[in-house]
Amino acid sequence: MVFQNLLTYTYGLFNSVSVDKAKFQAIKAFLKNPVIYAFLFGVFLHAFSIRIPEYIWTPIKNTSNAFVAIALVTLGAQSAFLKISRFSLPLILSLIGRLILSPCIAYIIILALKLDGTIAQSLFIASSFPTSRNSSLFALEYGNHPEYAAQVVLLSTVFSMMTVTTVIFSAHMLFS
């Protein structure tokens, strides 16, 4: 999960920002993201075994819990105006890549690393999750095809009802 979020908030964010900006402006916008500094601060605290006091940790947890709700409301508002009249080739390829190709690649990596049991199951299942709502939020914030990103998130979430169920069943059969 940490790797997935780190990848989203580094490469994914930089990729989204750099579409219509020069490299220096993209780097400047990238460095404005507080998630990177929070990650580095968290690594620092962990490396030196510094515990965060409860009176500070409680508001952080509450804010963290509220983020999911705010992100979903934002995605819902963005999706309310979607007009999916046809499935474009990039949309279809995005859905196939995220919901079918990702678990296949994960399966190959799991076999190559000779993982098994609960670790293999959890990694295999995590590889089948729908496209992150964060990608839609980045696209909206930086004006990088927000309607397309919202379509991918919405449709991958809808189709993931079938694909994630299949992957969970397969994970149980393959790695028990």
Amino acid at 17: V
Specify the DSSP class assigned to residue 87. Answer: -
d(CA 13, CA 35): 11
Question: Tens of pLDDT along 95-135?
Answer: 999 999 999 999 999 999 999 999 999 999 999 999 887 78
Overall size of the chain counted in residues: 176
Rounded mean pLDDT of the chain?
Answer: 86
pLDDT-derived band at 48, boundaries 50, 70, 90: very high
Does residue 44 contact residue 167 with C-beta atoms inside 8 Å? Answer: no
**Residue whose token pair is 């990608």:** 135
Task: Look at residues 131, 49, 56 and name the one whose alpha carbon lies nearest to residue 94.
Answer: 131
Q: Choose between 45 and 132: higher pLDDT.
A: 45
Question: Tens of pLDDT along 77-92?
Answer: 777 777 787 889 999 9
Output the pLDDT for position 67: 78
